[in-house]
Amino acid sequence: MSIPDAAHVGSPTCRRVDRALALLGRSRCGAVAAAALDGATRYRDFFEAVPGISHAVLAARLRELVSLGLLEHRDGTYRCTAETHALAPTFTALEELVSLHPHLFDA
């Protein structure tokens, strides 16, 4: 598989990919987004869906995802946006990678 020219190091696309990976890699951010894709809509749903997350971290991640437009918050519930749904194939690909090569991610 070859990498498209737009994804080469230093290109705007590469910088955006780096920022996306940094966002999803931030403490529990990817897990909170994945919980939303799995149907979490209320704060308690997220808290129960993401093992070990503190209230402070969960509140910060939800605020961050809302501010970025990855979640909508209205009437006490959180809803996925089109952008959140666009992440679903990324989570699927990462799950497949981890399943196929668990030794790369065991720490």
Q: Is 16 part of a structural domain of the chain?
A: no
Query: How many domains are contained in the chain?
Result: 1
CATH of the domain at 70: 1.10.10.10
Q: Which domain holds residue 88?
A: 29-104
What's CA 21's distance to the chain center, in Å? 9
pLDDT digits over 8-47, tens only?
677 888 888 888 888 888 889 999 999 999 999 999 999 9
Q: Is 8 part of a structural domain of the chain?
A: no
DSSP 66-98: HHTTSEEEETTEEEE-HHHHHHHHHHHHHHHHH
Judged by DSSP in three states, 38 sits in: coil
* pTM more than 0.85: no
In whole angstroms, give the CA distance from residue 56 to residue 27.
11
pLDDT digits over 44-54, tens only?
999 999 999 99
